[in-house]
Amino acid sequence: MFEDKNEQRTPLSELGEFGLIQHLTSMVELQHTSSIKGIGDDAAVLEFDKKQILLTTDMLVEGVHFDLSYVPLKHLGYKSVMVNLSDVYAMNGNATQITVSIAVSNRFPLEALEELYEGIHLACKKYNVDLIGGDTTSSTKGLIISITAIGEADKENVVYRNGAKPNDLLVVTGDVGASYLGLQVLEREKEVFKVNPNSQPDLNNYTYLIERQLKPEARKDIPQLLKALEVKPTSMIDISDGLSSEIIHICTQSKVGCNLFEDKIPLDPQVISTCEEFNLDSTTIALSGGEDYELLFTIALDDFDKIKGNPNVTVIGHITEERDGKHLITRVGQKVELTAQGWNALSNK
């Protein structure tokens, strides 16, 4: 018989998502020599023969991660693949296969699932990834999607979160903050629709933001670009939970500090204009928004000339000693402690 341990009930929100993961996995020990990296990075790393295998999985739950009142099923299928491929590219690897598992309630007809898988197949074709299996089951709470991505990389090319060194440069791909604002626009239009179902939203001023939310693209091109430039990052992570959260992950696991410069954070013009319209601070959105699926990485200072002027990447700061702390340097030169206020799946908020 199991002992009754229900006397003390600790809410999951008290630990937070990452605290819960750490709590539940603190006693895990890897048993096999083929298990190079387990829990704690963007993907697991397995080694067989000359290649290391990258393995990562993500779950999307209706009502938590997506709202089908404004998310088309085809877009959802596509995005659910991107979420996983992004983790493989964040290890400087190449994604090769995925498995797809879904739990679905009886309110969804066959045609709805066909639409979902149309998006999945499109993503597989565009990113040259094989769908090799999965599972389907019933659900009483709507739609749940779980995708596992498998990738590979040469042993010497795999990049972890824990390799950043003082004086390394902090670099980000693309721009940040747009996906979160796209979500805010869609949520606003949903509320308008509730009041007036006949209203027709004018979304012309938000096309980029909405595309970044509904149909993000994983940065498959970046590992290829870095290889061509002969640059191997010292650390790397994808931006799913917000720029500040990801910087803090790198700093914590690398045991370093950082200076992030506010005026260097790349923002799309639609982000700036929409922040003004919504009366939001663009830096806060960039730091805490999440779901950008860009890559954040560090490089040695000696590699700066190799990436200088490249339109795909922006240097946004540098790594410092751990004792110096993690800071945002504002446009007026003020030093502010960098805090993680991005997505937390177990938050009560």
Q: Tell me what pLDDT residue 32 has.
A: 60
Domains of the chain: 13-157 (3.30.1330.10), 169-337 (3.90.650.10)
pLDDT at 3: 46
pLDDT along the chain (349 residues), means of 10: 53 69 68 73 79 93 94 97 98 93 87 90 92 85 93 94 98 98 94 82 91 98 97 98 96 98 98 96 95 98 97 98 97 94 52
**Greatest C-alpha distance within the chain:** 65
Query: Please, which residues have CB within 8 angstroms of residue 15's CB and are 6 or more apart in sequence?
Result: 23, 346
Side chain identity at 99, as an amino acid letter? T
Tell whether pTM > 0.95.
no
Q: How many angstroms separate the CA atoms of 268 and 10, rounded?
A: 42
Residue 228: the pLDDT is 97
Angstrom distance (rounded) from CA 220 to CA 95? 8
Q: Residue 321: enclosing H or E segment and its boundaries?
A: strand 313-321
8-state DSSP, 124: H
Closest to 147 in 3D by CA, of 100, 95, 82, 205:
100
pLDDT at 349: 44
Alpha helices (runs of H) in 92-177, residue ranges in sequence order: 110-127
**Cα 217 from Cα 214, distance rounded (Å):** 10
